[in-house]
Chain A
């Protein structure tokens, strides 16, 4: 068993993350030997980047090559630490940060709540309190007066070197910020918050963040309007193409309204849906038109993409995107923003940005699940549940459910239109993360995907398989309803990695697609039972 101070060890890999220790899965996924081989990094890469935490690299952090470089690296970290603990630089989260730093009893009551720690076979490096404890000790020793003497006295000394920092940073990307551990803590300590603050320090002070969520994520979104890189013209072209697809598939003539001033609803999708799961925005267009909703989409910068990756790692990026999304709505004078099936987009806009969007930027924001529930329950659509007569289970995206309390609307819909709906165990606010949360679903790093599938997504996969335990045959087609783009991205990759479609016949998709699939006026099934 490792000691916390071992994180500073200059030799070797901190954890081997052995596959033999992984939590067992039910058949036919029970043979560890059947797992796809892990990607082997060549020596040239290993010499260049830091993989000393567990052999995986989410960030491709370059190792300092000289003593001077290491010293500079440590100095920049200490400068960031000081800012993280100041009101001026961190007014956004300093209260939560200090409360969680100062009141942990180290009782470990929270640890079994973590799906990553348990799925790994209790690998210490993934224990939710491990990185928090390292960070807490660094704060106590290096950012408080008399810290060094007290650290020696208390036996809590942690050497501050490049190895410590490299491992701390990588370990901050071994937590999906699902906050199950925070739910379990009797004090209210939030390890996920501490993890996010570590990520924030590295991003805001040192400019270090995974390229997928920073350069190719929030920076790209602020520059072009979307983290997909689609500018206004591209998104309109693509949606216009989808309007054509709707016509071809259903015979319905729908023209998605753009920039309609005074509309009741500004619908903001996760723009990734338009490219990766076009059936979801198509389904929304069909439902909203059939229900007679006055709606529009916006072609303003960030007005057509609900993602806000800053939520996971950077307050400045977070605030910039949130404000631009609200500005798009203000310009159109819409009555409300409705957020499409994107979990973190929901939380970013409706909860975390709430105290940033005041005055005329405080355009009311609502979940699409609520609007869909109202439409379905109101009877405005003619629905035939027998069209959805296949086993369906529901994944609860952490951001919508555990962090927003949107639990029942999606269930009301499924109970109304899916005769074979069944819950996972546990579900609702206690549900497990998909394993792709906090940006993981779009991150590949160097070999990060191997970890994301074999460890981070393992508990969720088990939960899904258990929900369909009464019909395991691939001949029985089954559906995991995941009303979140990020979660769908994780399911796509996770299912592919384990061969879930071939071995178990389980497909994943959104909620709106199930509603359209049940619409009696549409002749052909909307859901295509093809894995993609």
Chain B
């Protein structure tokens, strides 16, 4: 029962923690532009070399071509092939790829298994059932190999060793333990891991007799879920903001009806930067700071 409660609480923390993180970023003020090329938007010919609409004369009068397809292709390559690591750190790629694919498969198969468990018994097709079992059989070894490889890299490779933190090691050990206990569960029966997920997905009030490995695996997964929103691993989805709202955000204010309104709000914000050429120990609105051409410290007059 404790195990079920643990995983339930972890799920709540996981959902709430990630939601808070996303909402926090959505509520950030509209920042200044800071894009970086190549940006997978616009005509294919330009994307080939990283060109932008700034290459057009009178660009503000021209229609803007935007290609969600190109963005999607870029993201898919990044997520599933780890393109950036492949191009810039080949030695890390294999282990990182294995770890990521282990995680993707584990997550995907678990979601399917939950779905299967919640459907009426006869709805679970035999083929799907078998696919799920084999999915776990693939996910756990991949993930374990990836975690061990990454741990080895972190321990000896001169490029990463000095910048490896205790947290980094802990995260890999945690993931490695999840995959290792998963592998052990796979050896206990033909569908050990799968039946565990199915059992938990129904939120039973009583659990049958299970092995220590079974309980350990569930506890590790529960801990990971509750821990995840407070780690850099949230890059899994925060990457969306980092790419779409920063790196690829080339939207010009001339085409944005809300730009002036957002700026007006931001210019009314009070700042207290203390340097002599800014607020000089006082407080002033950004509009006053910008108007203070001689830089004598708008805060003094505010």
A residues within 8 Å of B by Cβ? 1-4, 76, 79-80, 83, 87-89, 91-96, 98-100, 102-113, 124, 129, 133, 154-156, 179, 182-190, 193, 203-207, 219, 222-223, 301, 316-317, 319-320, 323-324, 336, 350-359, 362, 364, 366-367, 370-371, 374, 401-409, 428-429
> How many angstroms between the C-alpha atoms of A353 and B31 in the bound complex?
11
A203 to B234, CA, bound (A): 32
B228 CB, nearest partner CB in chain A, Å: 13
Q: Which of B32, B87, B242, B278 contacts A184 (CB 8 A)?
A: B87
Q: How far is the CB of B297 from chain A (nearest CB, A)?
A: 10
Whether A99 contacts B37 in the complex (CB less than 8 A), given A207-B275, A362-B254, comes out as no
Q: Find out whether the CB atom of B273 lies under 8 angstroms from the CB atom of A187.
A: no
Docked complex: B256-296 residues within 8 A CB-CB of A: 259-260, 262-263, 266, 269-278, 286, 289-290, 292-295
A316 in contact with B290 given A354-B33, A407-B50 (CB within 8 Å): yes
Q: How far is the CA of A109 from the CA of B238 in the complex (A)?
A: 18
- Sample of 11 further A-B pairs with CB below 8 A, known A98-B28, A179-B36, A356-B290: A91-B29, A98-B25, A99-B242, A108-B163, A154-B165, A204-B273, A359-B260, A370-B57, A402-B50, A404-B37, A406-B52
Encoded as 1 (CB less than 8 Å from any A CB) or 0, chain B from 25 to 47 comes to 10011111111111100000010
Closest 6 CB pairs of A and B: A405-B52, A188-B242, A186-B84, A429-B50, A207-B275, A91-B29
Residues from chain B with Cβ under 8 Å of A371 in the complex: 57
Which of B34, B85, B165, B269 interacts with A93 by CB under 8 Å? B34
- Given A366-B58, A409-B55, A317–B295 Cβ distance below 8 Å? yes
> What is B's interface to A at a CB cutoff of 8 Å?
25, 28-39, 46, 49-60, 78, 82-85, 87-89, 92, 96, 158-168, 232, 234-235, 238-239, 241-243, 245-247, 250, 252-254, 259-260, 262-263, 266, 269-278, 286, 289-290, 292-295
B159 touches A405 (CB 8 A): no
Q: B49–A88 contact, CB under 8 A?
A: no
Q: Is the CB of B274 within 8 A of A205?
A: yes
Let me know if B32 and A405 touch, CB within 8 A.
Answer: no
Q: A residues within 8 A CB of B276?
A: 207
Contacts A188-B246, A354-B33 known; A105 to B290 CB distance under 8 Å? no
Nearest-Cβ distance from residue B264 to partner chain A, whole angstroms: 8
A207: nearest residue on chain B (CB-CB)?
Answer: B275
Q: Are A190 and B34 in contact (CB under 8 A)?
A: yes
Q: How far is the CB of B229 from chain A (nearest CB, A)?
A: 11
Closest Cβ of chain A to B104, distance in Å, is 15
Q: How far is the CA of A183 from the CA of B60 in the complex (A)?
A: 26
Which residues of chain A are within 8 angstroms of B247 by Cβ–Cβ distance? 182, 188, 190
Contact in complex: A106, B165 (CB < 8 Å): yes
CB < 8 Å neighbour of A91 from B167, B269, B277 = B269
B34: chain A residues at CB < 8 Å are 93, 96, 190, 193, 351-352
Instruction: Check B37–A91 contact: CB distance below 8 A.
Output: no
B residues near A367, Cβ cutoff 8 Å: 54
When distances are taken between beta carbons in the complex, the residues of chain A under 8 Å from B54 are: 350, 366-367, 370, 404-406
Verify A108–B159 contact, CB threshold 8 A: yes
A95 in contact with B28 given A88-B271, A102-B232, A371-B57 (CB within 8 Å)? yes
Q: Which of A88, A222, A359 has the most CB of B within 10 A?
A: A88
- A4, B163: Cβ atoms under 8 Å? yes
| CB proximity of A94 to chain B, nearest CB, Å | 6
Bound-complex Cα distance A351 to B37 (A)? 13
Q: How far is the CA of A108 from the CA of B96 in the complex (A)?
A: 13
In the complex, which of the residues B250, B277, B292 has the most CB atoms of chain A within 10 Å of its own CB atom? B277
Inter-subunit contact A94/B253 (CB<8 Å): no
Q: Name 16 A/B residue pairs within 8 A (Cβ), A-sorted.
A: A88-B270, A95-B246, A108-B163, A133-B163, A186-B82, A186-B83, A188-B239, A188-B243, A203-B275, A223-B294, A354-B253, A358-B253, A366-B58, A370-B57, A407-B49, A429-B37
Query: Which residue of the partner chain, among B36, B89, B167, contacts A154 with CB atoms under 8 Å?
Result: B167
Residues of chain B within 8 A (CB-CB) of A205 are: 273-275
Q: Which chain B residues border A429 with CB–CB below 8 Å?
A: 37-38, 49-50
| Closest Cβ–Cβ distance, residue B292 to chain A (whole Å) | 7
What is the chain A residue whose CB lies nearest that of B289?
Answer: A316
Complex: A76 Cα to B60 Cα, angstroms: 44
Which residue among A91, A98, A133, A362 has the maximum number of chain B CB atoms within 10 Å of its CB?
Answer: A91
**In the complex, residue of chain A having the shortest beta-carbon distance to the beta carbon of B267:** A356
**Which A residue sits closest to B50, measured CB to CB?**
A429
B265 to chain A, nearest CB (A): 9
Bound Cα distance A49, B159 (Å): 32
Determine how close the nearest CB of chain B comes to the CB of A370; give it in whole angstroms. 5
CB proximity of B23 to chain A, nearest CB, Å: 13
> What is the CB-to-nearest-CB distance from B260 to chain A, in angstroms, rounded to a whole number?
4
Which A residues are in CB contact (< 8 Å) with B293? 222, 301, 320, 324
Check A110/B88 contact, CB under 8 A, given A320-B295, A366-B59, A405-B52: yes
